[in-house]
Structures are given as structure tokens and as C-alpha cells.
Amino acid sequence: MQWDIVIGLEIHVQLATKTKIFSGSSTAFGAEPNTQASAVDLAMPGTLPVPNEQAFRYAVMFGLAVNAEIGRRSVFDRKNYFYPDLPKGYQTTQLDHPIIGPGFVDIDLADGSSKRVRIHHAHLEEDAGKSLHEDFHGMTGIDLNRAGTPLIEVVTEPDMNSAEEAVAFARKLHSLVTSLGICDGDMSQGSLRFDVNISLKPKGSEELGTRTETKNLNSFRFMEQAIAHEVERQMDILEDGGRVIQETRLYNGERNESRSMRSKEEANDYRYFPCPDLLPVVIDDAFIQSARDLLPELPDERKARFREQYGLNNYDARLLSEDASMAAFFEETASHGKDAKLAANWVLGEFSARLNAEDKTVTQAPITGAQLGQLVARIADNTVSSSGAKKVFEALWKGDGDNADAIIEARGLKQVSDTGALEQMVDEVLAGMPDQVAQYQRETDPKKQKKMLGGFMGPLMKASKGQGNPKLFNEILLKKLNN
Amino acid sequence: MSISREDIEKVAVLARIRVDEAQISALESDLGNILNLVDQLSAADTSNVEPLAHPLDAVQRLRADEVTETNQREAFQAIAPATEDGLYLVPRVIE
Amino acid sequence: MHNKSVAELSRELESGKISSVELTREFLDRIKAEDGQYNSFITVTEDQAMADAKAADEQRAAGKASVWTGVPFAHKDIFCTNGVATTAGSKMLANFVPPYDATVTANFRTAGAVCLGKTNMDEFAMGSSNESSFFGPVTNPWGLSSGDKRVPGGSSGGSAAAIAARLVPAATATDTGGSIRQPAALCGITGLKPTYGRVSRYGMIAFASSLDQGGTMARTAEDNALMLNVMAGFDPKDSTCVDRAVPDYTATLNEPLKGLRVGLPKEYFSDQLSPAMEQQVRNAVKEYEKLGATVTEVSLPHAKLAIAAYYVIAPAEASANLSRFDGVRYGYRCEDPKDLNDLYTRTRAEGFGGEVKRRILVGTYALSAGYFDAYYLKAQKVRRLIQQDFINAFKDVDVLMSPVTPSPAFVQGEKTSDPVTMYLEDVFTIAVNLAGVPAMSVPAGFVDGLPVGLQIIGNYFEEARLLNTAHQFQQVTDWHQKLPQ
């Protein structure tokens, strides 16, 4: 049987405010346990919440960036449940009147097409604390530093139909919130958390199947694997004539397996009701305008500009514009590198490969865009060959020298572009290979000729100790052989 | 309106209050009486009436995003039932 | 000295006739000698009070005194007091010493008043007789001669009884459905529940957030005005607190009442009211006519639904407000919990008393799936109808007058068997909380030797008018000066 995959996402975006959503406690990461938990955060008796304006501003910025309606009157509700990391015994959230209404995000797919994913809504709420399960004589330790950190929970429509689409959306959302500066985007620390709702239905069927929710996806790679894994699991069940149970599943990325998070109460009854300690939040035109004024260039706008300004193709422009720090790195490289396309190739090629290999983010890279740009400039003006440039890049990355020119100089990587010297080398090499020259000149198929040309390059590079400019060698060869 | 034993057991689970058999019987009658009192509400015609969550028709004030709280862990944990290494301790939570 | 009002004591201190140390000593000695029979205090902070009194005397000597500097008073044990146990009358918080002050507490500190201790109350302010306190019932100083022990009302029964017994001249209190007005009436003192949002709720342990309001209790209206001057005002820590100018509530006490338009809600003179009680209330209204007021009958057509709406909304809010008492961060924790669920269910079963548990369960039920619309949403709609009744009534009159309670103080244990019988005690007071308007209870006579209260209800933020109306009455009557026998 053929199946349609239906995917919707719920994304928790931790907002990069200085303080919590309902108290003036710091949200700085990495503090000692419970040192950033005030009386309000600890739900001490009699304490009351007062909402953070910046959390609303960030939420509105997000809403504008996803083309959404802004909730002019949003209401906080209490979601009641007991858990040790939830001090009040309820989470303050927004159920019926969220700050952000319906919107959409367009994603680019590998085949060059694009797709619109609708946002159902996004609401503001507070994060819970953390439970630490290390051994405290069989007890669990509770750290409430994170309790009350502002979140927006973004809920999409079930508009995605493959892991590729879901990951493309997730990357786009990551790119949006980091570009907006409203979230640090660090998935490994839980600053951005994706939960994936997956269901299958017989191909072409209108009726949605039973869905599961998969949690704990702390990288895009795990997300992709988890979706593949869950799709396969559901397919196995359905093809064996079984039924998928609606449940929440916890994914283990290390083992590529998932398990049911069995909820103790079969049916949770959260008993939502409007929080009587808070009043409706009214957002007026002036507030929306002030948020609009803070909007930076967004990835879609940036992509269009990269194509226009640097002459990049759509694919390169998207890869370079998605992430704000990657975009900034590229622009710095290009501004020093003279040749924007060459700069793009190096940033997406050598530089990105190196980041991946070492599991580093752009901001953690040991080289700057200016350093890479200087190297690109030397490639563009033929000072260094591309193989020589790789050696320079390696040295820069390792910190063996801090600018391309000095490294090229010190290591003798400057390529010989003196035409006279090169011509002499060509003459000498051709003189030593009369049979091959004759064979070349007899050949009428230009394709074969081109291939044969390569046979001369090896000895030429050897003769120049690798420093001959291959482009010039090529030109000279053609001139000499065709005469 | 009456309330069943099952309902009482269900809300006691939701409210995390242990109730024993004898208490359930007493609660059946007490909560039943309270719900009878409350059922007077159904007599009111509330069509076209907006619910009132709050007596004053006011809107929420928002706070500037400035850190105003300092670390008072020592004072707060001095009154806590069980702490260790700055953490609140609870019986092991199984995820 | 213990028979004097706050205003009088303040003048005595100012004139130097007495020091705060002497005054504080006198009240502390009275508490020590007499509170055994009333149980109106949960905690007496003798050492702190004497230290504060000494500091107040120094302040006054330095010429930096305010009206309240050195005047003794007490807090209902629902207001958090930094370093002093704050129990809300519950086993759950019997060991709870907050490291912070309620805003109301901080305001009285700033004013230089001397807090003698924390007064007894119904557990988490849930009750109308002060019999649900973990620290034992409070006995009304009135009616003891008959041999019966009577309730002082609740939930602010400790504050009311302590004032009536002259153990303290004034005390803070809170009112969610009548918890200031009803005990004030039953103890023959004067109490004011301000407009919702007039006094900060920060640090006041929550029962039902959209109904709770801190207020004042003393023997005279003038003292209530002095208290409200300290308590009222904007607090950035309470989102529901109103940012609105606070008048000097004493400034208008002596305005003449000529032309005051008094409305009598006919629903509050129903057959639930005993004829003897009604007579006292009508006599009081006659006094107002003598003072130049005009009296008309008005209607609050939805008032009869107030108790039903209240017993959905208040328990629903309480069920969530009291979830924080889970044995994890403060307060009571059961012995040797075997797992997390055991910790929660046993801590809460053992830490809360019967009435609190009943209300949590009712509230949980009203909010649960399938019942939300029929109970909670319906109650909120009825709440709007009730509010509209008051808005309509105040188009034609300046104040409403009614009884506070259907009958005078009853004997302890009389209404504890059926919770609903107890709830009906608040039949005349609850609608005021649902609407959020201010109201007072003023001593207005006696039935069988027991005090009767007159309720005066005002329009939003018209506390000054209420205090003026009550004060003028107290210039021509002496019910508020009577001493319990």
C-alpha cells in the first residue's frame, strides 16, 4: 500500500529576553541551580506575575516575520497539572486568545520548488524548570532557574509531507528567529525545541490518520532520522493491520529509537481557565509599529539581495542567507575577496565542510570572514592556485599564521604567472614528449583532445614544482599545440 | 445534581488529594449539596451575556525587561523541606 | 488607653502623654492576659513589637513621626511578614516563615506602625465562622455571659475579635465573599472592603484572585480611613492593582450627608432576614434620614444568584491557587513519601483541612472537561449580570444599605455539619465581591445582646464616600463604642 505522510510541528522558541516572562529574574544561562529563581518563580505564597514587555515585542516581531495576524487582545490561561518542575501547579499560557494568529512560511526544497507551510497560531507561555535525575540517594533534584523563561510556542498546520519538508521548515524557522535576534537558536541547550506530529493515511485519502507526537529532537539530523523512524514504525503497524495509538514518543538520537512516554493519567484534564492574576494584554498600532521598526533584514529578503548584489544562484543564495551569522560571514568574505561567487564557493565548500567536520557553529570558527576574503582575493588574482589555497586555508584554520599573504610568502605558495618562464617550461616539456604531441595533433575529436591535454599538465606542474598557474599553462599549451 | 463516587475519585486524582473510603461518602453528600446550590445558575438567562473574568474593565500593564531580582537561594532554601547542592529534592521522578 | 481609637492614640503619642513602648506593653499585656479565652492571635511578636515601639519613640523624638508612628495594630495571618510565621490558618503553612513582606505589610512598616502579631483566621480564608483554622476556633467576645461560646464570623474572625476585645485598636483583614464585613458585624466593629484593585494583593496569600481584596478593621470609621490611607495605592508587583490617585480618606469624613441618596435593595430585606435584625437595620436607615438622606427602594434582580456564582468561581480559582502547596519548596511535607504521587497526595490530604479540600475538589470538578461551560462559564456570565445590577443601581443612588448577615453571631459548632448552611451566612455580602465594588460594615444596634451590622455599599472607588457616610452615623450613634459584656 502507498501512504501519504502528514507532518505538523510544534516549536518552543525560548525568547532571548533579559528577564523572565513574569518576574525580574535573570534568564542568563549556566547559573548555579536555583540562584535565578525569585519568590515569584518559586510560587511563594502571595506572589503575583507581571508580564515582560519585551516578550510581547519579540512575539510580535515573530508574528510580523511569519506574515501573521497579531492578537490585539491576548489572554493568559492557566493549564493545571502537577509536576515538580512546575512550581505553581499550573503553567501560564494562552489557549483561546494567543498573541499570534494564522500566518505562513515559504520553504525551499531540494528540487528547486518552494512550498507554503501555514502557521496555525503562536502563543506566549512560561517554560518549566529542570529535573536532574543524577543520584541524590534515589531522589530527583529540581532546578528552577529555567522556570518562567518566556517561550513562544509555534503550532503549524499539518502541511508537510516528508522529512525533507519538515527539516526545511525547521531550518527556516531557526533562521527566522536567529535573524530576528529573539532566540539564540541553540538546539542542543533546548533554546529551540521541535516536537513533530506524524500520521499516515492511504495515498490520496482525505481523512487524517491517528497521529503521534515525537519529542526530544535536539538537532536537525535527529529530527530527520526521527521522522524516518516514526514513519517506518507507523507503516509497519498499519501494514500489519494494526492501529496507531495517539501518544507522545521520546526519541533517542544516539540509538535511533523511540519509546512511548506513558502518561500516568490516561487522559490528562488540564482544566484551562483564564488566569485571574493577569488582565487581557492589548496590543495597539503603535506597539506593532515599534516592533516592525526593529525587524532586521529577514532571510527571504536577504536571499533576494544576495542573488541581486552578488549574482549568486538561488541555491547558494539560500544556503548563505538562512543563518544570520553565516550570512554575515559570507558578506565579510565577499567584501575582502573581490570575487563574490568565488567567496560563496569557499564559504559553502571548504569553510562549511570544516565546520561540519568539527561540529562548530559559524561564530565558533577560528577564522574570520576577512581572513578568508583575503585568501579568496589571492585566488582571484592568480597569486595562489586552488591547491595552494587549500594549504593556506589549513594554516589559517590551525592558527599557523593569521593572514593569507604572509602564509603564501612564507611557504612559497605563490604561483608562477610569469608568461616567459612558463612558456619556457612548456617548450621543454613538449620537447620531451614528441609522440604525445604528434598524437594530439592528429586527433580530430575536440573532446579527446581536451582529455589528452591533461596528460601534459602533470609533467608541467612537476616542472614548476607545483607553482605554475594552471590556467596560464593551459593557455600556453593550446597555443603551442595548435600552431 | 449529584456527584458520583467515580467523579470524586477522579477529581481527587486531578487535585492530588488522597481520599479514603469514609471520606468519599461524606464528600458525596457535601459536594452534592454544594452542586445543588450551584445549580441555581441554570435558571439564569445568560444568552448574549459576555463572561466576566474580572470586575474592572482594565488592561494589562507590561513590565520593562530589566533584572530586578537578586539571588536569594539561601533564604528560600532555608524554609524548604529537602534540598541538596542547591536543588529541591523530590522522590525520584520516572520519565 | 486600650479603649481609645487609633486617631486618639496617635494624638496621645503626639502630645507625649504616653510613649509607644508603654502603649505597646499595655496591649501586649492584655493579649497575654485575655487572649486565652478568644484565641484571636496565632502569633504574638512581642520582642519585635517592643523593638519597633522603641524605634518609633526615637523617630517621634527626632520629629519624624507620621500619624501611625508607634501605634499598635495587627495583621491577619494571610499577609506575608518577613521573618514572622505566616500560616493562613493552615497546617500546610504552620512552619512557613516568609523571607519577604506583602506590600500591605511593607506599607505599615514604612508608616511606623507597631505590629503586635498575626491574627487567627479560617484556613486560607475559607469560612464564615473562624472554625476552620488549624489553630483552633476564635471565640466572639460578645455573648459570653450567656454561657455559650459564639463565633466571631470569618474568615477575618481573629482580627475582628481582637479589636472587639480591645486587644488591639486596628487590624488588617481580607474579604473574598464577606470575610471583613461579616466578622465586623458579628463582633460590633467597623470594617471596610475596598474596591477590587484598590489595595495590592502582593504577598497576601491567595484564595480567589479575582475576588480577594485586602481591607481594614477598627472600631471607628475614622480609624478605617487612617488605615486605608496606608494600604491603598498602586503596586507594580500586582497586575490587577489599579494605578489611580489615592485621596486622603480622612479629609472628607466630616462632609454633611444632606441630600445623600440611599438605596435599599429589596432582595436584601427578604424572609432570610430575621425580623429583629431587619428592625435594627431600618432604625439605622432612619438615622440617615435624620441626617438629611433620601431613601428609596432599589432592585438587584440577580443578587439571589450570587452565592451560586460565587461557589463556582471562588473554588475554581482556589483549586489552581492552592496547587503550589505541594510539599516541594516550602510548607508542610508528609513523612517518608514513597514516590512523587505519594508526596503530593499525602502532603495535600494531611496539610489541608476539610473545608479547603472540599472547595479544591468542587473547583477542580467545575473546571474539568465536560463541566467547564455549564459551571465556570455560566458563573462568569451570571457575574456580569450581577455587576450590571450594581451599575444600574448606582445610576440613581449614591450608596446602598442593607443588613450584613441574616442573623447575629451563632454558637460555635452550630453550622459546621453542613457546608451549605455556612455558605448562606454570606448571602448579603457575596454579590459585592463579584461586582468588585467597595462596602462597609458599621455597628448598628443589638439583637439579644449581640451586635448587628449595617452594610453600606458604594460605587467603584467611592471609599471616601463610604467612610464619610459611616463616620457621620458614628457621630450620632454609639453602637461602635459598646464594650462586650
Residue of chain A nearest B74, judged by CA positions = A35
Question: Is residue B95's pLDDT more than 60?
Answer: no
In a domain, B55, yes or no: no
Question: Is residue A264's pLDDT more than 80?
Answer: no
Q: Say yes or no for a CB contact (<8 Å) between C208 and A49.
A: no
Residue of chain B nearest A43, judged by CA positions = B76
Q: Say yes or no for a CB contact (<8 Å) between C381 and B51.
A: yes
**What are B55-84's pLDDT values in tens digits?**
988 999 999 999 999 999 999 999 999 999
Chain B CB contacts of A54 under 8 Å are 64-65
Domain range C1-485, its CATH number among 3.90.1300.10, 3.40.50.300, 3.10.129.10, 2.40.110.10: 3.90.1300.10
Pairing type for strands C72-76 and C114-119 reads: parallel
Q: What cell numbers appear for A320 in the block?
A: 548563505
- Other C-beta atoms lying within 10 Å of the C-beta of residue A23: 28
Question: Rounded CA gap, A422 and C396, in Å?
Answer: 108
Q: What is the pLDDT confidence band of residue A3, given thresholds at 50, 70 and 90?
A: very high
Q: Say yes or no for a CB contact (<8 Å) between A138 and B92.
A: yes
Residues 387-426 of C with CB under 8 A from B: 387, 418-420, 423
Close Cβ partners of B26 (under 8 Å, ≥ 6 residues apart): none
Question: Rounded CA gap, A69 and A81, in Å?
Answer: 30
Residue of chain A nearest C372, judged by CA positions = A271
**What are A23-40's pLDDT values in tens digits?**
999 999 889 999 999 999
pLDDT at residue number A262 = 60
Q: Say yes or no for a CB contact (<8 Å) between C323 and A88.
A: yes
Question: Rounded CA gap, C343 and C339, in Å?
Answer: 6
**What are C71-80's pLDDT values in tens digits?**
999 999 999 9
- For chain A, the distance separating the N- and C-terminal CA atoms, rounded to the nearest angstrom, is 66
Q: Is C190 helix (H, G, I), strand (E, B) or coil?
A: strand
Report chain A's mean pLDDT, rounded to a whole number.
Answer: 92
Q: What is the pLDDT confidence band of residue A267, given thresholds at 50, 70 and 90?
A: low
Share of chain A above pLDDT 70, in %: 98
Residue range A269-276: average pLDDT? 96
Helix, strand, coil shares of chain C, percent, nearest 5, are 45, 15, 40
Q: What is the pLDDT confidence band of residue A462, given thresholds at 50, 70 and 90?
A: confident
In a domain, B19, yes or no: yes
More confident residue, C386 or A422: C386
| Gap from C363 CA to chain A (nearest CA, Å) | 10
Closest CB to B14 among C327, C337, C364: C364
In a domain, B13, yes or no: yes
In a domain, B16, yes or no: yes
**C302–chain B Cβ distance below 8 A for any pair:** yes
A135 CB-contact burial (10 Å; exposed 0-12 / middle 13-18 / buried 19+): exposed
ipTM: 0.97
Chain B CB contacts of C362 under 8 Å are 31, 34-35
pLDDT at residue number A435 = 87
pLDDT at residue number A474 = 84
Q: List chain C residues with pLDDT less than 70.
A: none
Question: Is residue B26's pLDDT more than 50?
Answer: yes
pLDDT at residue number A470 = 81
Residue of chain C nearest B13, judged by CA positions = C345
Give the closest residue to C31 by CA, choosing from C145, C144, C169, C137: C169
Query: Which letter does DSSP use for residue A460 in this model?
Result: H
Q: Say yes or no for a CB contact (<8 Å) between C319 and A278.
A: no
- Alpha carbon C348 to chain centroid, angstroms: 26
pLDDT at residue number C113 = 98
**C33–chain B Cβ distance below 8 A for any pair:** no
In a domain, B21, yes or no: yes
Q: What cell numbers appear for B80 in the block?
A: 524548604
Backbone angles phi, psi at A32, to 5 degrees: -55, 150
Residues B40 and C305: beta-carbon distance below 8 Å:
yes
The residues spanned by each domain of chain C are 1-485
Query: Which letter does DSSP use for residue A149 in this model?
Result: -
Question: Rounded CA gap, C482 and C485, in Å?
Answer: 9
For chain A, which domains are there?
3-291 (no CATH), 297-410 (no CATH), 419-482 (1.10.10.410)
**What are A445-458's pLDDT values in tens digits?**
888 888 888 888 88
pLDDT at residue number A292 = 96
Residue of chain B nearest A269, judged by CA positions = B14
Backbone angles phi, psi at A326, to 5 degrees: -65, -40
In a domain, B15, yes or no: yes
Chain A CB contacts of C377 under 8 Å are none
Question: Is residue A433's pLDDT more than 70?
Answer: yes
Q: What is the pTM of this model?
A: 0.89
Angle between helix A163-180 and helix A53-65 axes, rounded to 10 deg: 130
| Gap from A34 CA to chain B (nearest CA, Å) | 6
Report chain C's mean pLDDT, rounded to a whole number.
Answer: 97
Domain hosting residue B14, numbered range = 5-42
Count of helix runs (H) and strand runs (E) in chain A: 16, 15
In a domain, B75, yes or no: no
| Gap from B95 CA to chain C (nearest CA, Å) | 12
Q: Which residues of C are catalytic?
A: 76, 155, 179
**What are C88-143's pLDDT values in tens digits?**
999 999 999 999 999 999 999 999 999 999 999 999 999 999 999 999 999 999 99
Helical residues (DSSP H) of C205-339, grouped into ranges:
221-231, 275-290, 306-321
Q: What's the Cα-to-Cα distance from A363 to each of A170, A303, A321, A327, C280, rounded to whole Å?
A: 20, 20, 15, 11, 81
Residue of chain C nearest B78, judged by CA positions = C330
Q: Say yes or no for a CB contact (<8 Å) between B84 and A136.
A: yes
Per the structure, how many domains does chain B have?
A: 1
More confident residue, A325 or C169: C169
**What are A154-201's pLDDT values in tens digits?**
999 999 999 999 999 999 999 999 989 999 999 989 999 999 999 999
Chain C CB contacts of A82 under 8 Å are 323, 326, 344
pLDDT at residue number A265 = 45
Question: Rounded CA gap, C3 and C164, in Å?
Answer: 10
Residues C329 and A43: beta-carbon distance below 8 Å:
yes
Best probe of the C interface among A34, A38, A47, by most C CBs < 10 A, is: A47
Closest CB to A280 among B60, B84, B95: B60
In a domain, B28, yes or no: yes
Q: Say yes or no for a CB contact (<8 Å) between A273 and C316.
A: yes
Q: Say yes or no for a CB contact (<8 Å) between C201 and A46.
A: yes
Q: Say yes or no for a CB contact (<8 Å) between C384 and B50.
A: yes
Which DSSP string do the residues of C239-250 spell out, in sequence order? TTS---PPP-TT
**C301–chain B Cβ distance below 8 A for any pair:** no
Q: What cell numbers appear for A59 in the block?
A: 512575539
